[in-house]
Chain A
Amino acid sequence: MREVAVVGIGHTAFGNLSQYDLVDVMGYSAMDAVDDAGIGDHRRLIEQVFVANMGGGILNHQTAIASSLVSRLGIEPAMAETVENGPASGASAVKTAWMAIASGMVEVAMVTGGELMRSVTGWEATDFVATLLHPEVEYPYGLTLPGFGGMFTRMYMERYGLTERELAMVAVKDHQNGMKNPFAHVKVECSLDALSHDSESEAANPYMATPLRLYGMCPVSDGAASLILCATDSPAMKYFQKSEPVRISGIGSATDTHCVHNRKDPLHLKAVELSAQRAYAMADITAKDISFAELHDAFVILEIAISEEVGFFERGTARKAIAAGDTTISGKIPINSSGGLKSKGHPVGATGVSQIHELVKQIRGKAEKGRQVKNPKHGLAVNFGGFGNNVVSTVCSKM
């Protein structure tokens, strides 16, 4: 298989962009990636476009979005497909583009992930995301992803002794990073005391899905991110001289049972573990070689649980590492230097692409002051679909 590199990256701000058109938002990040790659006059080098989007049909009454984006960018007759894989759509689209290039089918491809979720009410957005649950035995009850986040958190706390204060530490750390990320949706600095246990916490940080509180969950966001990928042995690489290319050295995905209650141990996120192992094997590395990671913290408990499944910590011990500062920017294994979904935001189709955007930015050494990881060599992104029933892990490495 051919080696594939990211040669251009683009990103919109995450937040409330509901006054804009979905494809315009995607187009903005796509042209940002074209500019970063330095191919403004050669954008027709892009032979194939993969669009990651989960809710265009439901939320925005728009379908066939990839075709629309190609036309908006004026790069017809490039091939175009939309990839829908729930909240893992972004990394799935990157994986599909990687396969198209690695197989030799195309030389250059673009991936754009985008979502406009704030064009509907919060209740409607919550219902939209819940459509990924089982349509007969989960969804009809009013169960939602935060509901499963709450039940998962309770199981974890009762088994391993995790405290609400330790959960809040993850949110505080993520917001510290997000404050320095120009793309972040919720740039609010949080204090540990305000988020945990004192008399004001009920007002400032109410329970949403016990024992998860408001600041234990990601916001509902709009936004887009784009990547341009090229085979490293392609003659087209001569056009990508402006920005440092970063290799996609490993990519793997895995699935688990649709219904959480059917898992022998619901705390064991098998698809996370397996997808990471597959990505490490392809990159010929182990968890110990990873310099930093973007983990899908739609709920803060997931940052903790995923960090254990991918091999950074033993099960039940991540909380100690967090309390010791090991996951901060200057720690042993910085996690969610972007602010994560928690602070940066979670436009579902964009998230997986945005995570890899962050890996590339960090490996290039171009992250903003105060959130640049020191000399990163390998970065891991985990894009978590469903409640862990479809997960994509990606390793990016310095060339």
Chain B
Amino acid sequence: MKRNFVLHRALAIAKKEVMHIMRDPFTLGLAVVVPLIMVLFFGFAIDFDFRGIKVAVYDQDNSRLSRELVRSFSASEYFKTFAGASAGAPAKEIEEGKATISMVINSGFEREIFSSRNSQAQIIVDGTDNQKTGVVAAYLGGIQRAFSSKLSGSPASDPIKITARFIYNPELNTKWFIVPGLIVIVTGLLSILLTALTVAREWENGSMEMLLSTPVTPFEIVLGKILPYVGLGLTGIVFVYIVARLAFSVPFRGSYLALGAACFLFITTSLAQGLLISVITRQQQKAMQASMVVGLLPPLLLSGFIFPIESMPLFFRYLTMVLPPRWFTAIIRTLFLKGTPFEGLVIPFIALALMAVIFIAAASKRFKRDLEP
């Protein structure tokens, strides 16, 4: 028996789903309110500008210059200095977690500088947190350069000077980069959960079997199930967008049309992914496990949200390409901060569209297998 795709059947399913959603505060909350709260909350929480890094100081020279050096640490908002208490074992403060850095200035520090030699200060850094250590190293470089040029009189004595200009985010506000990424993580995971759970429930309570015994085709069911949630997801994005603009004053420099298209594609892909999970697992418990495995850690860690994709080994750089959030992150960051026109984003758009098609086709196919044994 060959059955053709009939739009009004898909729409009928969609209509039923809409009524279902309207009656169910759970789904509405999950799709609209939760993303709003999460983006707001984590937008405020996440900050990579380390301030007040604790420095234990062992100033054995106690001269004008050594005190000056300590002052250049304490004057910076990045460091907070205190006198180290365990002479002879400067690493102890770090072992006990009381300091991130221990600095030892040997006696003779000032004398060495005045005799026009290069003087050293010993720095011990806690290496348990790589991210922090990396930032600390950059801060230390800044202090060292500033102090050296203060010693030699004028900073202009550098033969080659490099001036950096930061385009798109001149003040290097980390929120501008974190918040768009957060939008991706939160909407992606919630979209997967939305369809995975609602449809798995219908498998569990048998209403899906009933639907399958009607003349509706799997493709119609899949479309009918996804469409209402796309609407819901887009509504959620509108709220999240407002939060990003108003609460975190992230600029938006791209076109709304491109943003809308990208959101539509990404939400559809994630929803289809959830649907596929539910069609395969058919049990809420398993659907939940699978959704969390797929939707939580990989997007957080592999989509370029924080950890740079370009630094990954080649194989893993290719592997990230199967993650829809990776592409959406690239699009949304570009649209918010750079405003590159659509032509510059063709590859991510094609990738997202391709994945949407693949997931929808796979979900329909899995349905079909049970339908026509």
Co-complex (A, B): no
Which residues of B does A touch, CB under 8 Å?
none
Which residues of A does B touch, CB under 8 Å?
none
